[in-house]
Structure formats: structure tokens, C-alpha cells
Amino acid sequence: MRLNQNTMLLGKKVVLVPYTSEHVPRYHEWMKSEELQRLTASEPLTLEQEYAMQRSWREDADKCTFIVLDAEKWQAQPGATEESCMVGDVNLFLTDLEDPTLGEIEVMIAGVGVGASLLAPLSSLRGVTTLGLTKFEAKIGQENEPSIRMFQKLHFEQVAASSIFQEVTLRLTVSESEHQWLLEQTSHVEEKPYRDGSAEPC
């Protein structure tokens, strides 16, 4: 989504940056993991397919993707590449054509100890303020109990379960009180221009 291509979100434990071609090799290595493929219901792609996917996600109007960096590592090592500091990604999908206020949220963390619990509130608030979303859903594999517990702690409630797809659907409806809670959870986060607003080379 071009809406976030020049936006960086700087927190104490994580930094969110747009998904660019620079990040693809590391992301591709992660997704070779059978465990991550199983937890994210993903099929393995070739490196060329991964680059094509990154380009399409950058252009698609219904996907908002950020790469998650370890803030401490990124700030402590001047000159460190973003690729070397990558720990995951977070996505918002606008997939319900009948309800433009609903977004599906997906968090994938390949690193540990990086404030994963911040990512869902941060993405939700981003969806509220920039995309006009008021409802968020997360579809999680039934056996991925840590992820289910994390979303439940973040006020998501289970609304459906599928034995066919072996997944549960959790939902957060952003009332006024929930909006205030999201603001409190992310009050320390700064929004800054990504690379001084320069567009990624084609």
C-alpha cells in the first residue's frame, strides 16, 4: 500500500518500516521454516516469487504491510542495515468488500523479546486513524496458543472457529474506550518520514 511507503513508526522496542525490496532476502529465509509456514498458513515461494509478492503488496490498495525491526539493535549499531535488524512483520488486510470498516490483522514475529504485544495495538490504531477502520479480526491456527493468548490480552474476543481450516477468528471492535486504550498503549510511538520521504527505487 503506497499510503505507508514513506512512514516509519519508532517505538522503544520496535521500529516499523515499509516492506521494501531490501527486506525480501531475509524474509525469504524466514519463510523457509516449516514451523512458520504452518503457523502462518503460507506456501513456500522462490526468491523471485517473494520479490514479485513484495512489489504487488506495495501497490495493492487492500494491504498495509510494515516490517518490524528490533529498535535496540537498530539504534545501537550505527550503519546497521534494516535487514540485519528484522524480527517480523505486521499486516492489515482490507478484504471485506461489503464492510470497508473491517480490517484483518496479522502479526508474524521471527525474533523474540521485541515487544510483540505492541504490534497489534499499533496496527489497529494506524488502521483507525489512516484507513477509517473500526473493527479488526485476527485469524489464528487453533494450535498457535501463544498468539491466541496475546490477542486476547489485547481485548480481542473469539467470534468463530473453523474445524475445516483449524483456525479461530478473534475480533476487536473499537469503541471510544478502546480507542482511548489504543492511544495509551502507543503514546510513546513517534511517526517519522521513512528515509526522508524518498521513494524506493523501482
Give the 3-state secondary structure of 84-137.
HHEEEEEEEECCCCCCCCEEEEEEEECCCCCCHHHHHHHHHHHHHHHHCCCEEE
Q: What is the mean pLDDT of the chain?
A: 87
155 inside domain = yes
pLDDT of 115 reads 52
Residue 112 sits in a domain whose CATH number is: 3.40.630.30
Contacts 24+ apart (CB under 8 A), 26-30: 26/83, 26/84, 26/86, 27/54, 27/67, 27/86, 27/89, 30/110
115 within 8 A of 11, measured Cβ to Cβ: yes
Q: What is the pLDDT of residues 62-118, one digit of tens each?
A: 889 999 999 888 888 888 899 999 999 999 999 888 999 999 999 888 755 555 667
Q: Which domain holds residue 155?
A: 7-189
200 inside domain = no
Residue ranges, the chain, pLDDT below 70: 111-117, 196-202
pLDDT of 201 reads 33
194 inside domain = no
Interatomic CA distance for residues 29 and 6, integer angstroms: 25
Q: Is 179 exposed, middle or buried (0-12, 13-18, 19+ CB in 10 A)?
A: middle
91 inside domain = yes
| Number of domains forming the structure of the chain | 1
